[in-house]
Amino acid sequence: MAYSLPDLPYDFAALEPHIDEQTLRIHHGKHHNKYVTKLNAALEGNEKYATQNIEDLMPTLAKLPDDIRTAVQRNGGQHCNHSFYWQCMRPAGQGNAEPTGPLAKAIDDTFGGFAKFKEKFTGTAGGCFGSGWGWLYLDQKKELAVTAMSNEYNPLMEGLVSETGTPLLVVDVWEHAYYLKYQNRRPEYLEAFWNVVDWDQVSQRYDQAMS
Ligand code: MN3
């Protein structure tokens, strides 16, 4: 089977003014689409390594044959991360503006409150040197953790990253995610990101992972 570009779960203009329509169109239709195309090309003739869901490909990357591993890891990782990033956002003003239920309590217990968590997440993602992703995830002890991973890496890549676990929230800090609107002002993009985080989805993900 071939991987395909997922539709966005909202309109291209739905995240305005925090994430602008032009950025979203290019990010999804050009950048993300390119990763999907290159992933399928890299797997040509090796379709047996493809999985039903892109997340299921991540723990197998370290064991792929040498001649396809780099291309599959880079483009597959980026396909996985972008697919997840779209799912972490929703139109501004819809749903809860903060985590709810057990996740809210866990954030309080782990980080000392929602404001402190936001500071930590923003600082960690903002401090990523070069291109990468800021993650909130559940570690192997089922405790909340925040990290930044460069390039295509994510916490599902067993054997390739030291911090593995279940992703709960991600923000893309590659320049293509914000440069048209924010230019070099990554911290402004990260502040704006909070207006479009889908906390209902993130809270549900936490509940599922803990059950
Ligand atoms: Mn991107």
What's the 101 CA to ligand 1 centre distance in angstroms? 30
31 CA distance to ligand 1 middle (Å): 7
pTM of the predicted model as reported, rounded to 2 decimal places: 0.97
DSSP label at 112?
A: S
Hey, is 25 helix, strand or coil?
helix
Cis upstream peptide for 17 (omega within 30°) = yes
> Measured in angstroms, how far is the CA atom of residue 158 from the centroid of ligand 1?
22
CA of 112 to the centre of ligand 1 (A): 30
Per-residue tens of pLDDT for the chain, all 211 residues: 699 999 999 999 999 999 999 999 999 999 999 999 999 999 999 999 999 999 999 999 999 999 999 999 999 999 999 999 999 999 998 999 999 999 999 999 999 999 999 999 999 999 999 999 999 999 999 999 999 999 999 999 999 999 999 999 999 999 999 999 999 999 999 999 999 999 999 999 999 999 9
**What pairs with residue 131 in β-bridges?**
none
**Tokens of residue 47, six digits:** 């379709």
Give distance in angstroms: CA of 171 to centre of ligand 1.
Answer: 9
Q: Letter for the amino acid at 26? A: I
Question: Which token pair is 164?
Answer: 């593995």
CA 58 – ligand 1 centroid, Å = 17
